[in-house]
Each structure stands twice: as C-alpha cells, then as structure tokens.
Amino acid sequence: MAPKRPRVSNSACPPGNETEDPTKQKPKATRARGRLGHLEGLMDMPVDVWYEIYAHLHPLDLLHLARSTKAFRTILMSKSSLFVWKVARISESLPDPRPGFSEPVWVNLLYEAICHICNKNISRTIDFEFGARLCSKCYEDEKNIMVEDDIHVDGTSAAILSMVPYKFGTRKPHKHKIIYLKRDVDKVKARLISLPEDQREAYSQQQRFHVKEVLKRVKACDEWIKKQSRNREKELIRLRDERKSAIYKKLVDLGYEEDLKSIRFPDSLEEHRLVKQTRPLTEKVWDNIRDEMVAFMDAVRVKRISRERRARIFSNSYSLLRPTDIQKLVVKNILELPSEVVVDIQTFDDVIPELPSLFREWRERVHDELLRVSGHPNPSSLTTLDQKIQWLELARNVFICKGPFHIGHQKILFYPGILSHVCCTVEEWSEDMSLTEPHDKTIEWVRRKNAWVGLYDDMWYRRAWNAEHLFINPRLNRMTADLIRCLGFDPDTATVQNLDEPLFYYRCKICAKKGEPGDAEIYGWRALPDDFEKLTVQSVKKNKKLKKYKMDVDDRVWCCVHCRDLPSEVYPTRLSKIRKHLDDEHSITEPIINQDYYENLGAAPSHSTFRCMQDEFDWEDSDSSWTDASSF
C-alpha cells in the first residue's frame, strides 16, 4: 500500500507561490442567488393557458407584453389572437377602433402619450380625426398642419381635401380654424396620382366614405376621453383624501386632535402643500415631512388658544347684553379683565346704575334718525321723546326698506314695528370692513366671533341700529293720507293703531275692471292698493266663493327667545313654524309665550295685512252667496 502524501498547510507556502501550490484546495462554488432558471419553461406552457391569461389583461398590458419578446410579439400580433384584443377592449369599455386601425395600433393611440410625428415629445391630446397625437411643437409647425384658410383651393385641391379627415382646431395657433394633417393630404395626393384614370373615381368615393366614417366616430371617442378624465380626477381625489386621512391620523397620535378640529380660514389642512399630494404616505415620507407639519400645527394651536381666551372674556357678556356699540358700553373694563379674575354679581354694582342713561341715549338717537328719514318739516321743534314718538306713530308716515333681505321688492313699515326690523340691526360682512370699523382689533374680533347671524348666512353680523336702508315714498304717503280721510280720520292725528282697530278690507276696483287673473283684489289697509272699495270683515268671512282662492296674511311676527345671534336663529316667522323651531332646535314641546317665544315689536293685526289673490270672482252675484264660513 502506497504511503499517503502529507497534507501541506497553505500558511507553509512561501509568499508569492500560493497559486502554484498543487496541494491548495479550490474554494467551493457558491450557489446563484434568486431563482435563476425557474421560468425557463414558461414559454412551453400550452397556448390555451396563455390565451386564458391574455383574456384578463388590460389592453395596455397586452401591448407592453407584445413588445417584451419576439415570442410574445409573434403570438399577440397574429390574426388568431385578434379576439384577445377585442375582449380586452370591450372589458375596459374602449371605443371601437378608427376605420383602418388594427387593435394594437388603436390601443397605442389611446394610451401611449408620445407624439406620432417626432416620436419624442409627450402629447396628452388625441386628435381622433387624424388618428394621431401631436405635441405642441409639431402642432405649430406648418410642415405638419395645413390650414384651410391658407390653402389656394382650386378644383383639384378641393377634390383632394374632400378625401382627407379634417377638424376644427382647439389649440393655438390654429384655434377655430379648419385644419388637415399634411401627411394625410400628401398620402392621398400621391395615391391618386399613382392610380390609372379609370380607378381614381372609385378611390375618391372610397376615401370620402372613409372620411365620413372617421368623423362619425369622433364624438364617441371624445366622450370616452372625457369619461377617462373624470375617472382620473376621481382617482386623484381619492389618493389625496387617503393621504390627508393618513396625515390626520399621524397628527392625532401626536396630540393635535383638538387643534385639527379648530382650523379656520385662511389656514387649511387639505390645502397644505404637503397634504394635497397624491403620493401615498409611507413611514419614510412621514419622517421627511413631520417637522414641517408639526410646525404648522403648532401655529394653529397658538391661534386656537388665543381665540379661546378671547371667547372666555367676551362670549357670556355679549350673549346676554347684545351690545350695539361695545366701545361705548360702561362694562368694557369688566369685559377686558384677565381670565383669572373672578367676575360675579358684585362686579356690576357700579355698572347697573349707569344703564338707564345708556337706554335713554339709545332711544334719543334712534328716534332722531327716524325723524330725519320721515321728512319732518321742523325736527328741532320736537324737544321730548314723547313728542317724537307721537309724530312717528302717525299712520301717514309710511317707511320703505330696501335692505338686503328684500331682494326684488320693497318692504312697507310703520312705527313702532320699524324698531325691530331686521335690516336695521344686521349688516353683511365685507372684506374691507376693517377699514371702516374701529381700529380696536379686539372689538373687531368680537363682531366676527360672536355677532354672526346664523339665520341667513355666516357672512352677516349684528350691528348698532341704523336707518340707512329706510326712506319715505311721498306718493305712498299721499295715498295713505287719502285712505285715512276715507275712513273718517284726520291724517294729522290718526295713528297706526287707529287704522288697525276698524275691521275693514279694501277691494281694488281697477283690478276688478281689468279682470286680470292672479291680481290681488282684496287687501288689509296696510297693503295700500292704488284704488280701494271698503268691505266689512264680516262679509268677506261669509263669502264662500273666496274660500277657493289664494289668501294670505302676513303673520310672520313670531321670534325665538333662546337663539338671537346664534347659528339657529330664525327670521320672524309664523306661529306654527316658531313652535316647530322650538321643538327641533331646543326640544321645547310646550313653549310659553314671552318665555320661549315672543311677538315682534309693532306686529300688525292679521286683518290689516290680509291679501286675497283670485283668478275669477263674480261680484255681481256676491250678495246671494253669503254663508257661514270659518274665520281666515
């Protein structure tokens, strides 16, 4: 038995001779990573299996697959695979291919946003009339586009153009012009010249039919593009909403939930540049934007704390006192006390004695404004408040309001109801309001924060009473004076209450003579028709023919005690509606008058505001039709 050779260590080899050592062991071969070679039999699958896979692919996926290898291209571009493309197109609700286009070419036109002229630039606009996409540069190039206005059209040119699809330009510089694709024109022209004379007519008819078919399908293709745009917009909205929700959750986890709920204009979470993106929020993305979002929320928190502090100072006192001019109130110093100072009933011991003088000052100012509007010949002669009230109570003083709540019509008002009219105490907020309001930023904020009038719009605020929307109509005053005389009263002494007491209605003889359907023929005295004929209330109530005509009473005089200057406040309304409001908004099922609701100041009796709209009525036979009827 031959002796074994001794094993020699690598470390014993002299330097530089490692590769020459015959005893050195070769390293083991390392296994290749991944699954190299596992798909080598993919192309050996049965054709039926491939067709089953193709049937579930998007048309664009089929196109990309056909471009991936020669084997896929051979299969998918063969005529036997035509049904695969049709199934994919129908499943995605794509329009039918343009005449002369194969299915793959059609998919390429719909989805590949590459210019078909230069094959380099991006083009997101499809010109279906041309069956091509043109980038802005190629679209503006005269070498590619022919404009009908610039073409010298003779008999031959007109014949050729009739065989080429055209469109009305929608982009500059060819907007609203009839344009042609020059390569289409050249192609038709070259083909026409190459044909024998006896075949040209048949070719011309064929091309005209082709143009007709192409233009017929353009509308359906444009509708598909619009639908795709809408779907894309919805998808972008969904992605933005998902990102916003993810960021919102991250901020809530950081303790900003209350601040997120308090964000106000001009701050906005959804409009923040880092929020309104479509990119999904991964942990890495959040780490990149976290610092900026935290800084944004810290600024929002500072604003919230500042608003809450000012609200604690002003909200209670404002909601109770409803001040007309907070800068002049004697309680201003109390309102501006620091938050930590306790305010109790003793705090107002020095304030309450000042209130009567404040009320007197307000009454004098308001009545002086009304005297100015009413056109009193000598206002200085009325030295006391009682004298001013005595003058304003006269029924001949008819005020007209053209305020913001009477769009398209005028509102007729009398004293004292005018004191509670909404247009006199509410104003629309404007962007330049701070230019005319007091420079005290605290006062301005109080009006923004606490004086919004929620019954109309959040752009209205409560203000001091003023008469800027009121005026007098001399003609209407003269008519009212005539009515007062007909009733046997003196216009210089008759008050509104004097005219409300008689139970009379008035019929317009002019409307009755004209016989115009839909005209109001019966009025309470406050409706003031141009001409009138007196009817007793009792006779109107007994006339059964009036029951089938449209009647109306302006009884919108009821207001809610609980929600003045609050978002739930409602305009003076009917009794049934104010009861429903109290039930819906305040859960009061059995409201008490003057505790839960009240009648507006100066509300008119129902018979004074009565109107009857009739289509036809035989007044000649009215005497024979009196009968008992329920009260209006």
Question: Tens digit of pLDDT for each residue in 148-161?
Answer: 766 655 455 778 88
Per-residue model confidence (pLDDT) at position 14? 41
**Does pTM surpass 0.75?**
no
Q: For 473, phi and psi rounded to 5 degrees? A: -100, 105
Q: How far apart are CA 400 and CA 528, in angstroms?
A: 13
Q: Return the amino acid letter for 471.
A: F
Stretch (H or E) spanning 191: helix 182-194
Asked if 457 and 388 touch (Cβ cutoff 8 Å), the reply is no
Among residues 307, 298, 299, 301, the alpha carbon closest in space to that of 339 is found at: 307
Give, rounded to a whole angstrom, the gap between the first and last alpha carbons of the chain: 138
Per-residue model confidence (pLDDT) at position 20? 45
Instruction: Give the tens place of pLDDT for each residue, 280-316.
Output: 999 999 999 999 999 999 999 998 888 887 766 655 5
Per-residue model confidence (pLDDT) at position 240? 93
Among residues 619, 423, 415, the alpha carbon closest in space to that of 508 is found at: 619
Asked if 326 and 280 touch (Cβ cutoff 8 Å), the reply is no
Q: How far apart are CA 284 and CA 604, in angstroms?
A: 70
Token reading at 131: 């069956």
Q: Looking only at Cα atoms, what is the longest distance across the chain?
A: 158
Q: How far apart are CA 494 and CA 481, in angstroms?
A: 9
Per-residue model confidence (pLDDT) at position 566? 67
Per-residue model confidence (pLDDT) at position 235? 92
Question: How many other CB atoms are there within 10 angstroms of residue 470's CB atom?
Answer: 22
Per-residue model confidence (pLDDT) at position 604? 66
Token reading at 343: 């305010």
Which residues of the chain are under the pLDDT cut of 50? 1, 8-24, 154, 317-327, 408, 431, 433-458, 518, 520, 529-540, 545-552, 614-632
Token reading at 48: 């039926």
